[in-house]
Amino acid sequence: MRSMALFSIPSSPLISSPTQANPNGSLRAKSPSLSFPHHQLLLPLNTTSTLSIKEELSLNSIPWVDDRQEEQSLIEQCVLRDQKHLKELSSWGIGGLCSYFLRVSQPYQLLAAIRYCRARSIPFLIVGKGSNCLFDDRGFDGFVLLNRLDQFQAIEPGVYRVGSGYPFNRLGVRCSIEGFSGLEFAGGIPGTVGGAVFMNAGAGGQETADVIDSVEMVTMDGEIRVLRRSDMAFGYRWSTFQQMKDLAAIVAVTFRLVPAETTRERQRAFLERRRKTQPIGERSAGSVFRNPLGIGMSAGELIELAGLKGLEIGGARVSKVHANFFINFDGSTSADMLALINHVKERVDQMFGIELKEEIKYVPHRTQTI
């Protein structure tokens, strides 16, 4: 029964700071509902935790405990305060310090950390691979939880239950090697399973939603909820989870794939196309904009037609390989990247009357009270 007790806890909202456009086309963060109290959280000087302050600390050494006070005390001993640079967690390599940082690798650790935030009214952000986040140069004045829930379980042939922090590209390769189809495209997609489900990642006619069997999530009330495929809705780079007000975190996903003889060949074709059409090896966050629907042209094609391929602002550049990829080529700041994003949006709107929508998420330094 211990495993059930792990999830019967209160929770706190996940503040992912989605962006929205101002009337002038600029990018800003929507206001969340939590404010951040400026109190200190320092590692006790009489613990060995201080000896590891320069490392990525985690709760791996902390066992599951039944005592709430002891649990919170153990968490406090492992939290890094004003030590973690978010540029280390971002594929763009941009971002300042976060106020609190913790790496979690087990569901109960994640839930206990969320409870810690809720008890102190601290806004928090759960980060996987950081492959679609633009962090502010000043960092994040809140709690960053690095999701390393990378458990993998083969339930039966073609059916896999996977932790939300499991690398999505690794999952795609593993399924293809075993001869199951549906995630061949994932072999070239950075990020985690949780992020792929949340965004409904896809490429080459495949989407994550096509092979989802169920999703285990935590609500803001600390309830574990298991959603079947019929309980969820998906669209182009959209999922039910993006509109869930009570979502705290996706914990695990079960995928159901079908056997096929050509999975490896198809995956190799995906990867080869990616190598030829995307700026592999450069610091990017993947596609910056969603492809507009119903016009027969991609965001990258519109940006290229607008003459913006290779455009530079500060250390940020529109890729010369794929115009919907923006590159940190020379120490770009978040201000540089935001300026480039806004300039491209405005130019495409002026030339074609089409307002591009961001696929990346901007995380501001500080949240505001509504």
CA nearest 252: which of 354, 160, 140, 344?
Answer: 160
pLDDT at 73: 78
pLDDT at 47: 27
Residues of the chain with CATH 3.90.78.10: 281-363
Question: pTM of the prediction?
Answer: 0.79
Place of tokens 């042209």: 297
User: 281-363 has which fold?
Assistant: 3.90.78
- Residues 340, 304: Cα–Cα separation, whole Å: 14
Residues of the chain with CATH 3.30.465.10: 152-263
Q: Are 140 and 118 in contact (CB under 8 A)?
A: no
pLDDT at 224: 85
- Residues 275, 267: Cα–Cα separation, whole Å: 12
Report, at the CATH architecture level, how domain 2-147 is classified: 2-Layer Sandwich (3.30)
- Residues 261, 259: Cα–Cα separation, whole Å: 7
Residues of the chain with CATH 3.30.43.10: 2-147
pLDDT along the chain (370 residues), means of 10: 26 34 38 25 26 34 58 79 93 96 90 86 92 96 95 97 97 97 93 96 94 93 88 96 93 97 94 94 96 95 98 98 98 98 98 96 76
pLDDT at 39: 24
Place of tokens 């059409």: 277
- Residues 108, 68: Cα–Cα separation, whole Å: 12
Which SS3 state, helix, strand or coil, does residue 116 take? helix
For residue 144, what are its two tokens? Answer: 């960053």
Q: How many CB atoms lie within 10 A of CB 268?
A: 14
In whole angstroms, what separates CA 85 from the centre of its chain? 16
Residues in CB range of 245: below 8 A, 6 or more apart: 13, 220
HSE at residue 211, side-chain half, CA atoms within 13 A, is: 28
pLDDT at 125: 92
pLDDT at 82: 84
Which SS3 state, helix, strand or coil, does residue 317 take? strand
Task: Name the maximum alpha-carbon separation found in the chain.
Answer: 63
Place of tokens 């569901």: 107
pLDDT at 220: 77
- 202-203 and 180-181 beta bridge pairing: unpaired
Span 152-263: which CATH code? 3.30.465.10
